[in-house]
């Protein structure tokens, strides 16, 4: 009889422990989904997700959506696609420094415009990025230590973003449409040079040259056409002169009316 009496007690114990098991399982499940080398923490009361030096080659998909600070620095990420951070509505700071980022697709930061306050893209491989990639972004942006091509596109980008304090000196021309600017800080260069104005002048000149070329071709064709017709008419008149006079008069009048 005694063993039978213990069964209700064991069942009650299992029911009491079940919530604890479920709670532990729910805590472990998200951690298991994190990429290797990534972990959540809390810094200054802000929910932080760190993936520094995690050998990532793309932006992770399983970032907690209540993250306030995201560190993806010192990885191997080469490209930021559209909507890369769209599921992070509370993100305040994003560190993408020391990666291999060479391209940023338009819309990569979509969804962050209203709340992101700091974006670090320093020490990457950015050469040229459209200003549209940063549309409506109010964050302080660090673009230093990239191999920038100094041209109109970079000039438009710099005017469109709010640069992080002290970062402007690190935006240096690794290449330029004007060779004398290579190695100089971009803000120093555009104090004396308007790349976009120079580009517009070059485009206007190219358009004028193209139009002149087409005009010359049309004129040449018209001159050739007139000369060819004149030559044909001359040959026909000479032929008519060799005909008997009556037939010649009738064909001459026909030829003259055709030419006129």
- CA pair distance 246, 260, nearest whole angstrom: 22
Does residue 103 sit in the same domain as residue 163?
yes
Does residue 78 sit in the same domain as residue 176?
yes
Does residue 79 sit in the same domain as residue 207?
no
Q: Which residues contact 147 (CB under 8 A, 6 or more apart)?
A: 125, 126, 127, 174, 175
Instruction: Find, among 111, 155, 102, 99, the residue nearest to 136 by Cα.
Output: 111
CATH number for the domain harbouring residue 51: 3.80.10.10
Does residue 138 sit in the same domain as residue 165?
yes
End position of a domain, from candidates 193, 218, 240: 193
170-179 tens-digit pLDDT: 999 999 988 9
pTM value is: 0.66
Is the CB of residue 55 less than 8 Å from the CB of residue 83? no
- CA pair distance 91, 83, nearest whole angstrom: 14
Does residue 45 sit in the same domain as residue 111?
yes
Does residue 99 sit in the same domain as residue 225?
no
Residue 48 forms part of a structural domain? yes
pLDDT given at position 33: 73
pLDDT given at position 17: 54
pLDDT given at position 203: 47
pLDDT given at position 229: 74
Alpha helix (H) residue ranges in 179-194: 186-189
Does residue 146 sit in the same domain as residue 211?
no
- CA pair distance 192, 180, nearest whole angstrom: 12
End position of a domain, from candidates 163, 193, 223: 193
Residue 174 forms part of a structural domain? yes
- CA pair distance 231, 245, nearest whole angstrom: 23
- The torsion angles phi and psi of 47, rounded to 5 degrees, stand at -75, 120
How many folded domains does the chain comprise? 2
Does residue 122 sit in the same domain as residue 185?
yes
| CA 153 to each of CA 177, 199, 214: distance values in angstroms, whole numbers, following the listed order | 11, 10, 30
Residue 66 forms part of a structural domain? yes
pLDDT given at position 25: 45
Does residue 143 sit in the same domain as residue 207?
no
Does residue 164 sit in the same domain as residue 45?
yes
Does residue 52 sit in the same domain as residue 181?
yes
Secondary structure class of 76 (helix, strand, coil): coil
Range of the domain at 213: 194-231
Q: Which residues contact 69 (CB under 8 A, 6 or more apart)?
A: 43, 46, 47, 48, 49, 91, 92, 93, 95
End position of a domain, from candidates 193, 208, 223: 193
pLDDT given at position 177: 84
- CA pair distance 28, 55, nearest whole angstrom: 23
Does residue 96 sit in the same domain as residue 218?
no
Is the CB of residue 39 less than 8 Å from the CB of residue 60? no
Q: How many CA atoms lie within 13 A of 216 on its CB side?
A: 6
pLDDT given at position 90: 97
Secondary structure class of 148 (helix, strand, coil): strand
pLDDT given at position 221: 65
What residues of the chain score a pLDDT lower than 70? 1-32, 198-216, 218, 220-226, 228, 231-233, 236-260
Alpha helix (H) residue ranges in the chain: 2-33, 152-160, 186-189, 195-241, 245-259
């Amino acid at each position: 009889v005694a063993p039978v009496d213990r069964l209700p007690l064991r069942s009650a114990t299992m029911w009491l422990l079940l919530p604890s098991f479920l709670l532990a399982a729910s805590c472990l499940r998200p951690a298991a989904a994190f990429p290797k080398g990534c972990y959540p923490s809390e810094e200054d009361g802000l929910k932080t997700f760190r993936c520094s030096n995690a050998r990532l080659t793309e932006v992770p998909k399983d970032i907690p959506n209540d993250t306030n600070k995201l560190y993806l620095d010192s990885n191997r990420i080469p490209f930021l696609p559209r909507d890369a951070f769209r599921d992070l509505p509370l993100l305040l700071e994003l560190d993408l420094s020391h990666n291999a980022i060479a391209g940023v697709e338009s819309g990569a930061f979509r969804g962050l415009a209203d709340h992101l306050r700091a974006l670090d893209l320093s020490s990457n491989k950015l050469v040229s990025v459209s200003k549209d990639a940063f549309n409506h972004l109010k964050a302080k942006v660090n673009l230093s230590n990239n191999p920038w091509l100094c041209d109109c596109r970079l000039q438009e980008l710099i005017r469109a973003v709010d640069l992080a304090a002290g970062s402007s000196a690190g935006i240096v021309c690794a290449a330029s449409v004007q060779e004398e600017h290579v190695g100089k800080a971009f803000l120093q260069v555009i104090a004396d040079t308007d790349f976009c104005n120079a580009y517009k002048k070059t485009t206007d000149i190219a358009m004028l040259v193209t139009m002149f070329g087409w005009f010359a071709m049309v004129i040449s064709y018209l001159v050739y056409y007139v000369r060819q017709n004149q030559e044909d008419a001359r040959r026909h008149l000479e032929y008519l002169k060799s005909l008997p006079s009556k037939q010649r008069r009738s064909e001459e009048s026909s030829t003259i009316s055709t030419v006129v």
